[in-house]
Every structure is written in C-alpha cells, then in structure tokens.
Amino acid sequence: MNSDRTIVAKELTRKFGDFVACDRITFDVGKGEVFGFLGANGAGKTTAIRMLTGLLAPSSGQATVAGFDVYSQSESIKRQIGYMSQRFSLYEDLTVSENIRLYGGIYDLTDRQIRDRTDAMLSRLGFRHAAHDLVRSIPLGWRQKLAFSVALLHDPKIVFLDEPTSGVDPITRRQFWEMIYDAASAGTTVFVTTHYMDEAEYCDRISIMVSGKIGAIGTPSELKRQFGTDSVDDLFVRLARPAANAPPESRPRP
C-alpha cells in the first residue's frame, strides 16, 4: 500500500530531555496530495518537519519519506524533497538566475538541465526580464513564487512549504496557491504550514497538532462536520485553545 504514500509516519516521537515535543504521531500523505500541517506556535510542527526532512533523528517510532527511512536514509530524503519557508528562501545578494544556478548545483543538475529549467521557469513565471536582478530588489510576492519554483527545480517527490505566504498580498497569495495546485496535479506532494486559516480550506487534507499530538486529521469538510464548526478557523480555535492556554513556559524549548 505504501507505493502511493509519500509520507508514512507511525508513532513518530521526539523528546528533548523530559519534554515530548512530538508525541507518537501517526499519519500518511499520498502522492500528489496537498496536506496542510496546522497547529499553534509551540505545538510541535517544526520538530515534526525537521524529522520528516531528515534534519533531526526521531527518539522512537517509524517514518518513511519518498520511500526512504528517516533514521538510516536521511541523506536520500534530502535529495528527494524540496523546501521553502517564509523566513528563508533565496539568497538576497544573488541575482535570480544565480540563485537558480546555485540550487541546481547543490542538487547535482547538469549545466544543460540548469539552463533549460531556468529558461522554462522564468518564462512560466513571466520573470525573464528580472533574471539578472538581485533577489533583494524584487517584490516579496514574486520572491515567494520564485522560491517555490526553485524548490521544485530538481523534481522532488515532495515539497515542504513552511508559512510560504506570510505577509504576501491577497492576490499573490492566491496565485501562489494556484502554483501549489499545479505542482500537486503534476504529482508532487505538497506539505504546507500556514497561519492563514482560509488557506487551510484549500488543502486536500489537514492535520492539527495540539501539544505534540495530532488532535485532528481529515479533509477540511470532514473535520468541520465532525466538530460542528463552520470554518477551519473556528475548528482551529476549538482544538488549539487548551494548548494555547497552557503556559508556554511549562514546555521547555529545544
């Protein structure tokens, strides 16, 4: 059954000292699925993402990402995934095309592949005229669209997007989501976090982490029905509230 599952996590756990940041989480994500990974600040999302991207060894439990084991094959995982975040996506002091070349080089693409894919990407985005502009000088919304395309440059099986649209204007934010849909319909799995609850509604399925555990998982409409709420926003507040009210200082930080 696992061939069409890009992520399979079983009882995945990470402790920091006595503190269980990620507590036996079990879920899977299918090929080409847009999976929204939600939770309050400090609920354990970042720890889970670091394990799934091969950056942090779990304390216990199992997980495979793109068919590779998170314990023994973390280097293979890194080659099979794409990653972008709001905080860091591209090098601001390099030009658009230099950034693409750098990423292509890191992922061992040939010069020819880099040239062809750069060309195709910039045409698709309508950015050809900006190829030699410094990333710092281009508007945030463009930068995020570009960063997403760069994260897909090496044809990863799955792309992790960590708050990719934070601070982006409402139209560009929606254009960004159309790029997500395009990537997903081309078969790339999209694993995305966001604080915009309307964006949670755009996901095929979502999970909501609460104090290190998965508090709910399903399609947005299933979950709204299950919890009797009108929107994912209300659902989120309902579920995340106990976590938010616990003093954050009772949760030691990694």
Q: Is 76 in the site for another protein (CB under 8 A)?
A: no
Q: Is 74 in the site for another protein (CB under 8 A)?
A: no
Q: Is 27 in the site for another protein (CB under 8 A)?
A: no
Q: DSSP assignment, residue 107? A: T
Instruction: Identify the residue whose tokens are 């309902």.
Output: 238
138: CB partners within 8 A, 6+ apart: 96, 130, 146
- One residue of 24, 50, 128, 195 binding another protein per CB under 8 A: 195
* Crossing angle for the helix pair 170-185 and 140-151, to the nearest 10 degrees: 10
Q: How far is the CB of 153 from another protein (least distance, A)?
A: 22
User: Which of these segments, 18-26, 89-97, 112-120, 234-242, binds another protein (CB under 8 A)?
Assistant: 234-242
- One residue of 32, 36, 39, 164 binding another protein per CB under 8 A: 39
Strand partners, 83: 160
Q: Is 65 in the site for another protein (CB under 8 A)?
A: no
Q: DSSP assignment, residue 88? A: -
Sheet arrangement for strand 81-85: 81-85, 158-162, 189-193, 34-39, 205-210, 213-218
Instruction: Identify the residue whose tokens are 């399925």.
Output: 205
User: Which of these segments, 58-66, 102-110, 152-160, 178-186, binds another protein (CB under 8 A)?
Assistant: 178-186
Contacts to another protein by CB under 8 A:
39-42, 86, 126, 129, 139-142, 163, 166-172, 174-175, 177-178, 181, 185, 195-198, 201-202, 220-221, 231-233, 236-237, 240-241, 243-244, 247-249, 251, 253
